[in-house]
Amino acid sequence: MNNQYLNLIGLAFRAGKCSTGEETIVKDIQKRRARLILIANDTGPQTMKKLTDKCQSYNIPYIIVADNRDTLSNAIGKSHRVAIAILDDGFANKLKSLLG
C-alpha cells in the first residue's frame, strides 16, 4: 500500500487541519467544517454507520481506507483513532486524489 497518504495525514494533523474523536468529527460534519472523513477499515459497525450516515446527510465525502485503526492512529501520533476528519480543502483534495 502506498504510504504517501499517511504522511500527508500526519502533515495535516501537525498543521492543525484535522480533528479526531467520534463526537468531534460529528460536530465538524454538522457545522460543515469537515472536508473529508477517513475511516479505518476495522471500525466497529455502529461507529461506521453513525459516521457514514452523517456524511451522507450533510453531503461530506468519506473514504474507508484500506488500513486498520493502528496504522491510521500512528500516522497522527495518537492511539485508538478509527476516524480522522480533514478540515482543509487542499489536504482533502490531495488525499482524494491519492486514495481515489
3-state SS track over 25-84: HHHHHHCCCCCEEEECCCCCHHHHHHHHHHHHHCCCCEEECCCCHHHHHHHHCCCCCCEE
Contact indicator for 64, 39 with CB cutoff of 8 Å:
yes
Global confidence as pTM: 0.95
Digit-coded pLDDT (tens) for 27-54:
999 999 999 999 999 999 999 999 999 9
CATH number, domain at 73?
Answer: 3.30.1330.30
* Predicted local confidence at residue 12, as pLDDT: 97
Evaluate if residue 1 carries a pLDDT over 60: no
CA angle at 85 for the pair 32 and 18, rounded to the nearest 5°: 105
Domain of residue 45: give its range.
4-99
Number of domains in the chain: 1
